[in-house]
């Protein structure tokens, strides 16, 4: 297996965990904050012996806000990685920023191309997966349409910002090919 594929698989554990955990936290928070009644029923002759029940009219509310929580968690962490790619990438750091980071003992925030682009690839992939799942929920009328629109627009903007940084990096590589290390 290639080094890049192993790196992508290693980097995908955290986004997958964030996606699942934030969906469950979103469900619990939306039920708690909105005071939505729910119950757990036990079936003795069933494979899945415990089932939760929500009223039919509350399902779209819970699904909508849990989708929003899931998307917000993924998009926030993707934004953090994009900020690192744009501002803390070792190939396009300004000298005065390096000095400021050194004074604050934060030089460990500076990342290389290999690390940052693998991380951004995984986060953008999971953000798109979450966006597709939200759009499926919008089409099946489980999620409010405004949540689908907000998520789609913000995913497109985040993708565009990351693509602009990648294009800038490719342009730098073309202009200065000897300055790059491919490890």
Average pLDDT over residues 51-68: 80
Report how far apart, in Å, the C-alpha atoms of 40 and of each of 22, 36, 49, 153 are.
Answer: 21, 13, 10, 37
Domain residues for the domain of 138 are 3-27+56-173
Residues 6+ apart with CB under 8 A from 25: 69
Least confident of 44-53, 73-82, 135-144, 151-160: 44-53
Condensed to tens digits (0 to 9), the pLDDT of residues 97-153 reads 777 877 888 777 777 777 888 889 999 999 999 999 999 999 999 999 999 999 999
pLDDT band at 68 (very low <50, low <70, confident <90, very high): very high
> In this structure, is residue 179 part of a structural domain?
no
> In this structure, is residue 180 part of a structural domain?
no
> In this structure, is residue 37 part of a structural domain?
no
Neighbours of 117 (CB within 10 A): 20
Tokens representing 46 are 């069933």
pLDDT above 90: residue 52: no
Condensed to tens digits (0 to 9), the pLDDT of residues 145-170 reads 999 999 999 999 999 999 999 898 88
> In this structure, is residue 44 part of a structural domain?
no
What would the DSSP string read from start to end of 120-144? HHHHHHHHHHHHHHHHHHHHTTSS-
Condensed to tens digits (0 to 9), the pLDDT of residues 3-37 reads 777 777 778 899 999 999 999 999 889 988 988 87
Longest dimension (CA), the chain: 69
How far is it, in rounded angstroms, from Cα 122 to Cα 41? 38
> In this structure, is residue 182 part of a structural domain?
no
pLDDT above 60: residue 182: no
Overall domain count for the chain: 1
């Amino acid at each position: 297996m290639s080094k890049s594929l192993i790196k992508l698989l290693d980097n995908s554990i955290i986004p997958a965990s964030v996606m699942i955990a934030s969906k469950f936290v979103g469900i619990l928070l939306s039920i708690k904050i909105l005071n939505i009644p729910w119950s757990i029923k036990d079936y003795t002759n069933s494979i899945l012996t415990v089932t939760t029940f929500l009223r039919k009219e509350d399902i779209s509310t819970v699904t909508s806000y849990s989708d929003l929580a899931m998307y917000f968690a993924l998009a926030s962490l993707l934004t953090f990685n994009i900020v690192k790619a744009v501002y803390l990438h070792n190939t396009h750091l300004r000298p005065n920023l390096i000095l400021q980071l050194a004074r604050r003992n934060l030089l460990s925030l500076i990342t290389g191309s290999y690390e940052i682009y693998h991380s951004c690839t995984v986060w953008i992939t999971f953000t798109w997966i979450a966006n597709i799942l939200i759009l499926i929920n919008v089409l099946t009328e489980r999620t409010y349409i405004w949540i689908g629109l907000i998520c789609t627009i913000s995913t497109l903007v985040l993708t565009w910002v990351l693509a602009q940084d990648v294009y800038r990096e490719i342009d730098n590589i073309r202009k200065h090919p000897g300055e790059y290390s491919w490890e």
